[in-house]
Chains A and B, each alone.
Chain A
Amino acid sequence: MEANDYKGRVKPSWCPGCGNHAVLMALKKAMAELNYQTHETAIVSGIGCSSRFPFFMSTYGFHTIHGRALPVAIGLKQAKPEINVIAVGGDGDGLSIGGNHFIHAGRKNPNITYIMMDNEIYALTKGQCSPTSRQGTITKCNPYAWTADRLNPVLMALSFNASYVARSHSGNIKQVEELILGGLKHKGFSFIHIVSPCVQYNKVSSFEKIKELVRDLPSDHNVEDRANAMKYAFSPEGLYTGVFYKINRPTYEERYQEVIKIAKQNITENYSVKDVMKQFQ
């Protein structure tokens, strides 16, 4: 497969200069590398600028409702584990309205990849503060002052026990592709946080500022050391990028296969609804 084979029927509607274009290309390249078949892959999203993603792909896709990409994606994967499932969305979609699902995705460890494009703002509704907006952000909805602290998506994912946690920014397409590739290959819930400031509505954050902040995780960082990963995620010094954490543990689907195995222990091979009926006789 070539990256171009994943081009969807609909032309990307994002603004020129938006970092999402880079993420789209990076995902296509990573998928091509793994030879993902379009009919065996599903991209699931919620609502927001970045959530338009599935329309721009030639795979199966489900553009759901605000905040619900993860539960739909996890349900899909659990129902048909052989499908490659990728959830995509923004910071408002995944951390605010859909925040609850993010928590439980980490703990359940479904074998899906979740790419969060964090533009630090609600852009589709024309610029309101999101859970990752920085101090000093003034919008029409908070015209006088900034009123709440930011969330830290990487730290959150680590504490929810996501089994692959990585971060990059859309100005570094090579790293984005590398991290997505790592996420797709990883067996378990992989979370990739991509900082991608909105070129239209974000007056506080910009590509230039992000570039000043970013630094690579030290090469000797042990990706199985969650406490240490949290330390870097927490660091006030700058924005660390790379793989924070990667650990192998059974996936949600594998664990349910165990359930099926146990449930089938004491039944015959051709167990049918007729046998089920016996409990009611």
Chain B
Amino acid sequence: MKDLKIKISGTSGQGIISSGDILSYATARKGYYVTTYRAFPSEIRGDGKCYYTLRISEHKALTATGSTDILVCLDEDTIYECISSMAPNGILIYDSNLVKELKVERQDIVPYPIPLATIAKSINSERSRNMVALGIVVGILKNLHLEEQILKDIELRYRLKSQEIIDLNKKALNAGVKYVEENLVRKDLFNKAEMKSTGAKLIMSGNEAIGLAALTAGCRFFSGYPITPATEIMEWLAKELPKFGGKMIQCEDEIAAINYALGASYAGVKSMTATSGPGFSLMQEALGLASMAELPVVIADVQRCGPSTGVPTKTEQSDLFAAMYGTHGDCPKIVLAPMDVADCFYQTINAFNFAEQYQVPVIILSDASLGPRRECVDLIDIENIKIVNRQKPDLKEGDVYNRYQDTETGISPITSPGDKYGEHVITGLEHTEANAPTPDPNVHRQMTEKRFRKLETAAGQFSKAKTYGDDDATIGIISWGSTSGPVFEAIDKAAGKGIKVQALYPRTLYPLPTDWIKGFIKNKEVVIVVEANYNAQFKSTIVERCAHINKGMEVLEFLKYDGTPFTPEEIFEEIEKVAKLQEEKNQLSTNKHTHF
């Protein structure tokens, strides 16, 4: 067995997230690859449903979405909700104290009714049903040898609570494992399931990866306002920044948050904020100020369903237009989108480097499926990460310093309060090279061009767009951000069925890497743009800017906007459909040719 998906589900407050987290840490620490997907309601308790999917594998997997091998349900509702997404021969574990009669029609799965409540009661901890259930899973997957590591992880997770809580959780886990050994008559195929451990790796969430990268890049100031699903970034930095003399400031609103960051950046300190859609809307004006005043700043937008409050805990890729064009005026900025947790780290490093080097705001577009998702990351060589700092002028007494000196690259050396002879005033008004406000038409034209010239300079430095799949394929897929994981897996699946497809994943979305996109579409007959929004935001950008270079090519869209991330299966089905149409079309044109 190389690959296994476990889904734990239930009602908010039943400990779904805790048990999922503990299991993901333990599997990673045993040396298996793990990636996860968490879905939870906005309510803390109540009858909202929680789902925690883990995919454990020998090789790095790109998504945890898709069919489930082991489904663990702590309530009844989620059984009927999730049963259809189970893989053939999968195991269903549910609480027989709660569900008297299982009304499930699928004959190709193995149901295990387990008296979870009775077992929990027997150790005097009725609230520990989640840990008993985890014990059942660990018992079933005996050959993965997870028990010892999970006990360690229980200790780590609850070390700040009390010894009593640690002991209860451990007891509950042991009781689950014991139940499998003594009472469970095995009918499933996972009895002999084994997996190769592939050595040390890291495990973190997308949000933590952004925080870690910020710290690594030298960010020492973060200002923010709590918002789902981005809050974890500020919580993590609140804990770590002060250890480095840095600061995490909680502000009165998102407008304050970005303006604090701009003040700190003006002071010469690398600064950042993080938010989600509603907060991102509030930040737009200050984003334009950063662009106009040429101040480095990094903004992480962990996207969720919009518009307005939308669905706060569910994912969407619908802030692309807002990121690219949200601010009024001609506003140079850079927009990056990471595809997985490791990429969250490396793209955030890039974000700080670009912001400092080109003195522009840089936006990182993560999303609700990526931010909270915990997954394995290969070891990071932290001491050899390239860090860029802003370029300072060399000034001596009597020098006249022009903050916005027009240069070949568009980049003007920058000073900060505290630097001698570098005094200057920055402003959101159009200004001369000597930073004096002016409405002069020639100056506005010249300075607009200067600011955009920085992006031309930057374009040469952007990480190369990644391609995946067959170079000769005539079917192409373009995707961005977290959607690229399921796309790449769908391509593997298609290759297995003899369908050639190639994917393009541009890491930088703005300025649009038109050269790479044009190069990619040159030899394609059809390109499908896969993204999680209704307006086909990236597709329309590509059609507008790039599609003209291959007029015979068809640009299709495959969209999802229900709040859930793409699965490789649904993308594969779309590929199959398109491939079939393509074949028919080619046949038709061949026939026509013969006919004439």
CB-CB under 8 A from A260, the residues of chain B are: 242, 245, 247
| Binary interface encoding of chain B residues 198-235 relative to chain A, with 1 for a CB under 8 A from any of its CBs, else 0 | 00101110001000100110001101000000000000
| Binary interface encoding of chain B residues 7-36 relative to chain A, with 1 for a CB under 8 A from any of its CBs, else 0 | 000000000000000000000010000000
CB-CB under 8 A from A43, the residues of chain B are: 425
Shortest A60–chain B CB gap in Å is: 4
- Quick one: which of B415-434 are within 8 Å of A by CB? 416-429, 434
Closest to A51 in B: B427
- Contact for A277 among B202, B253, B257, CB less than 8 A: B202
CB-CB under 8 A from A8, the residues of chain B are: 425
Closest to B376 in A: A280
The CA of A184 and the CA of B94, in the complex, are separated in Å by: 68
Contacts A65-B285, A65-B286 given: A72-B425 contact, CB under 8 Å? no
CB-CB under 8 A from A276, the residues of chain B are: 212, 215, 240, 243
Contact at B256–A71, with CB atoms within 8 Å? Answer: yes
CB-CB under 8 A from A42, the residues of chain B are: 266, 417
- Quick one: which of A49-66 are within 8 Å of B by CB? 54-55, 57-65
The CA of A54 and the CA of B208, in the complex, are separated in Å by: 39
List, sorted by A's number, 12 A–B pairs whose CB atoms are closer than 8 Å. Answer: A39-B418, A63-B426, A63-B429, A64-B262, A71-B259, A71-B263, A75-B264, A78-B260, A83-B417, A104-B256, A260-B245, A274-B382
Closest to B428 in A: A65
Confirm or deny: B361 has a beta carbon within 8 angstroms of a beta carbon on chain A: no
Confirm or deny: A100 has a beta carbon within 8 angstroms of a beta carbon on chain B: yes
Show the binding face of A for B, using Cβ within 8 Å.
8-10, 38-44, 54-55, 57-65, 68, 71-80, 82-83, 100-101, 103-104, 256, 259-260, 262-264, 267, 271, 273-274, 276-277, 280-281
Contact at B426–A62, with CB atoms within 8 Å? Answer: yes
Contacts A8-B425, A58-B423, A280-B202 given: A80-B252 contact, CB under 8 Å? no
Contact at B200–A76, with CB atoms within 8 Å? Answer: no
Which of B113-121, B141-149, B267-275, B352-360 is the contact stretch? B267-275
CB-CB under 8 A from A10, the residues of chain B are: 436-437
CB-CB under 8 A from B216, the residues of chain A are: 273
Confirm or deny: B131 has a beta carbon within 8 angstroms of a beta carbon on chain A: no
Show the binding face of B for A, using Cβ within 8 Å.
29, 200, 202-204, 208, 212, 215-216, 220-221, 223, 239-240, 242-245, 247, 249, 251-253, 255-257, 259-269, 271, 285-286, 289, 293, 377, 380, 382-383, 416-429, 434-437
Q: How many A-B residue pairs have CB under 8 A?
A: 172
Contact at A40–B417, with CB atoms within 8 Å? Answer: yes
- Contact for A75 among B29, B221, B255, CB less than 8 A: B221
Contacts A101-B252, A280-B203 given: A39-B423 contact, CB under 8 Å? yes
Shortest B22–chain A CB gap in Å is: 15
Contact at B202–A281, with CB atoms within 8 Å? Answer: yes
Contact at B215–A64, with CB atoms within 8 Å? Answer: no
Contact at B256–A78, with CB atoms within 8 Å? Answer: no
Contacts A267-B243, A273-B215, A274-B383 given: A78-B249 contact, CB under 8 Å? yes
Closest to B260 in A: A75
**Contacts A75-B259, A79-B220, A264-B242 given; 4 further ones with Cβ under 8 A?**
A60-B417, A80-B416, A264-B243, A280-B377
Shortest A66–chain B CB gap in Å is: 8
Contact at B418–A68, with CB atoms within 8 Å? Answer: no
Contact at A63–B243, with CB atoms within 8 Å? Answer: no
Shortest B28–chain A CB gap in Å is: 9
Contact at A80–B424, with CB atoms within 8 Å? Answer: no
Contact at B418–A263, with CB atoms within 8 Å? Answer: no
Q: Name, among A9, A76, A263, the residue most crowded by chain B CB atoms within 10 Å (CB to CB).
A: A76
Q: Name, among A58, A72, A100, A104, the residue most crowded by chain B CB atoms within 10 Å (CB to CB).
A: A72
CB-CB under 8 A from A273, the residues of chain B are: 212, 215-216, 382
Contacts A64-B289, A71-B263 given: A39-B200 contact, CB under 8 Å? no
The CA of A83 and the CA of B416, in the complex, are separated in Å by: 10
The CA of A259 and the CA of B242, in the complex, are separated in Å by: 7
CB-CB under 8 A from B255, the residues of chain A are: 68, 71, 100
The CA of A40 and the CA of B286, in the complex, are separated in Å by: 25
- Contact for B263 among A59, A61, A74, CB less than 8 A: A74
Q: Name, among B204, B212, B244, the residue most crowded by chain A CB atoms within 10 Å (CB to CB).
A: B244
Q: Name, among B200, B221, B247, B425, the residue most crowded by chain A CB atoms within 10 Å (CB to CB).
A: B425
CB-CB under 8 A from A74, the residues of chain B are: 260, 263
Closest to A261 in B: B242
Q: Sort A-B residue pairs by CB-CB distance and give the 10 closest, nearest first.
A: A75-B263, A75-B260, A79-B264, A61-B425, A263-B242, A71-B259, A76-B263, A72-B263, A63-B427, A80-B267
Contact at B261–A75, with CB atoms within 8 Å? Answer: yes
Shortest B553–chain A CB gap in Å is: 43
Closest to B203 in A: A280
- Contact for A55 among B243, B252, B289, B436, CB less than 8 A: B436
Contact at A72–B253, with CB atoms within 8 Å? Answer: no
CB-CB under 8 A from A39, the residues of chain B are: 417-423
The CA of A281 and the CA of B31, in the complex, are separated in Å by: 10
The CA of A71 and the CA of B212, in the complex, are separated in Å by: 26
Contact at A62–B263, with CB atoms within 8 Å? Answer: yes
The CA of A160 and the CA of B423, in the complex, are separated in Å by: 33
Closest to B239 in A: A263
Q: Name, among B265, B382, B417, the residue most crowded by chain A CB atoms within 10 Å (CB to CB).
A: B417
The CA of A280 and the CA of B34, in the complex, are separated in Å by: 13
Shortest B480–chain A CB gap in Å is: 26
CB-CB under 8 A from B420, the residues of chain A are: 39
CB-CB under 8 A from B383, the residues of chain A are: 274
Contacts A63-B425, A64-B428, A75-B249 given: A263-B243 contact, CB under 8 Å? yes
CB-CB under 8 A from B251, the residues of chain A are: 71, 104
The CA of A76 and the CA of B262, in the complex, are separated in Å by: 8
Contacts A39-B419, A78-B260, A78-B264 given: A271-B243 contact, CB under 8 Å? yes
Contact at B426–A9, with CB atoms within 8 Å? Answer: no
The CA of A103 and the CA of B429, in the complex, are separated in Å by: 27
CB-CB under 8 A from A55, the residues of chain B are: 425, 427, 436-437
Closest to B216 in A: A273
The CA of A8 and the CA of B259, in the complex, are separated in Å by: 25
Shortest B248–chain A CB gap in Å is: 9
Shortest B285–chain A CB gap in Å is: 6
Shortest B415–chain A CB gap in Å is: 8
Q: Name, among A9, A43, A73, the residue most crowded by chain B CB atoms within 10 Å (CB to CB).
A: A9
CB-CB under 8 A from A40, the residues of chain B are: 417-418
Closest to A275 in B: B243
Contact at B269–A72, with CB atoms within 8 Å? Answer: no
- Contact for B428 among A63, A77, A274, CB less than 8 A: A63
Closest to A84 in B: B417
Shortest B315–chain A CB gap in Å is: 23
Shortest B508–chain A CB gap in Å is: 25
Contact at B262–A72, with CB atoms within 8 Å? Answer: yes
Contact at B253–A100, with CB atoms within 8 Å? Answer: yes
The CA of A29 and the CA of B267, in the complex, are separated in Å by: 25
The CA of A62 and the CA of B436, in the complex, are separated in Å by: 12
